[in-house]
Structure 1
């Protein structure tokens, strides 16, 4: 009898985690490696949030928590959605999970039946299709091309929807491209979704606070209130407050869906870490100055990286509106020979040869569903980014 479940054959390991691990292994062997693979702010969690966690420990907030989250955090989440997104949710319509991944997984586990389709714009975050497949659904990919700024067009969304479509996943600003949708660009998509009453919207707003140059963030149920009753609005404290390791994601949506997700979580992990939840209360309710400071630093880094990559022969790097990623095309290097003597046939060849020759770890675009591109995370120091871009330029110049 086989040990492993058939479901495992439908899922691939995370490419972003694999790149980070490979970089760690090479560093351990003494190689000079700069890893630009991880989607994680390099800033420390703000002091007021750390202090709130310490105070929670000293108060004895170290017991099991309610499955859907402690009441002060659920109230803070509802207040955040009202204050920042013009969305009215009761605390009972919210749920707290161990990171955004658990929120997504619970939603799919609670709603997907075999044969249900989930429309996913490509490039996509690597975990979306794997979660859909593990939960028995069928991912349906729709290309959002570089010509369109990596933004899904309304007519392409319309073509992808069938009677079997259960969910549409929307992520803005996007991981991996950094593309963010304006009010009008999003309205074109919500107009399509209004025509298809069977389609639910799962919006991943994790990078909401990381937009640049006066860009105004909007979320689907805010743009089209008619979608409120079939939208799950997901967010978290990881990116905005540099709290990746605290593992707190949250969402709000119709009570029926939230209750179903809570039932699944009750048999899976129960409530998220008590101390991390109290820290998240302070993150959402406390001083917000950190967000503007980190945004300013990220914008400066973005401009540095875009400028330097566009000086490398064979690369073309669009300027993204948000997040902390760029998604350059390496089409101009396909067919050339790397300094190591290998012909670069794919974006995966490009990133493999770049790591080998120059010790720069990035993630190939085909892992995100659209190449020939690669993703760079610029969530690291300006000095490291400058050195990385010099090495990338050198590599590109050496390709024949």
Structure 2
């Protein structure tokens, strides 16, 4: 009899966290490691947000909160969706969670029965399929291509839907590819979903504010209001406000679903940290200047990284619309020999050999469901990005036949 559950056995360790740990271990040996494996802004949380947290502590707001969040934050979420996205929710249609991951987990636990299917475009964030599998659901992957900007086509979506499909998970802009769907592209996908009324939409908008150039962000419930009654629109303060450690995510959707998610969360963690909730309220309601400033820096970094990677021998890097990731292909390097003498047969071989040879930590694309690619997070200081790209260029140049 095995002590650990089958859930543990079928759950994979997050590749992003595993690579970050490898980078820490190499750094502990004295190597000058540049870790570009984690999706975490290098900026500090804005001072007004930290001040709001301090004031909350001074005012004794350190007790348990309602499971779904303090009323003030839930109202701020309602206001944010109305002013920024044109979506009309009530506070009872919102929920505050311990990070974006808990929004996903709450929704999946509340709705999935064994064998239910969830359509997930690939490449995908590593936690989507694992969360579905932990709930005994079945992930159904829809591969995308660089030629289509790593975006799912309406035809591919339609082909993936079956009578057992419960959810479609949409992440735009995307982790790991940075791909973002235009309003027209979302409308085309919505047209497919109109013909499948049993399919719900999970819109993960965590990178909403990180879009570049003339790109205009829109979300599914915004472009297809008739789907709003089966859409869970989710977001958080981690990426746009550099608040990853504060652990506040939130969602809005039909009250029936929100009540079910509240029930699940009440038995698992109860409410999110009270102090972090007051900080998040300030993030959503206070000055928004930080977003434009950081977005301009991220756009400059994106352009730098894309340019330098496309100068590396054997790499091809698509220019993404948003987030802070690029997802280059290293297909032309398959079969090459690394300086260690090892033959590179997979994208995982590539990132492991790069880590040993040049002390740059990346994440291989097959961990995100689509290779041979790798993900670089450019949420790091510009000088480190430039140095890491020079090291990648050198590594690629040193590969032999």
- 2: distance between equivalents of 1:174 and 1:6? 30
Deviations 1:315-371 (A, max 9, x none): 000100000000000011001111111111110011011001000000000000000
Structure-2 residue corresponding to 1:152: 152
* Cα separation, 2, equivalents of 1:124 and 1:316: 19
Q: Deviations over 1:232-281 (max 9, x none)?
A: 00000000000000000000000000000000001100000000000000
The aligned residue for residue 375 of structure 1 is 375
TM-score, with normalisation over the residues of structure 2?
Answer: 0.99
Q: Gaps (5+ residues) in structure 2?
A: none
CA distance in structure 2 between the aligned counterparts of 1:353 and 1:55, rounded to whole angstroms: 48
**1:386 corresponds to 2:378:** no
What root-mean-square deviation, in Å, do the aligned CA atoms of Structure 1 and Structure 2 show?
Answer: 0.5
1:73 is aligned to: 73
Q: How many residues align?
A: 400
4+ residue runs over 2 A deviation:
none
Equivalent position of 1:96 in the other structure: 96
Matching of residues 186-225 of structure 1 within 5 Å: 186-225=186-225
Give the Cα–Cα distance (whole angstroms) in 1 for the partners of residues 70 and 136 of structure 2.
Answer: 31
1:297 aligns with 2:297: yes
Cα deviation, residue 214, structure 1: 2.0
- Cα offset for 1:78? 0.5
1:1-400 equivalent positions in 2, closer than 5 A? 1-400=1-400
1:90-122 CA-partner distances (Å, limit 9, x unpaired): 001000000000010000000000110000000
Structure 1 distance, partners of 2:154, 2:382, is: 37
CA distance in 1, matches of 2:26, 2:357: 13
SS of structure 1 residue aligned to 2:329: coil
Structure 1, residues 270-293: CA drift from partner, whole Å, max 9, x if none? 000000000000000000000000
Q: TM-score, normalised by structure 1?
A: 1.00
What is the CA–CA distance in structure 2 between the aligned matches of 1:128 and 1:235, rounded to whole Å? 15
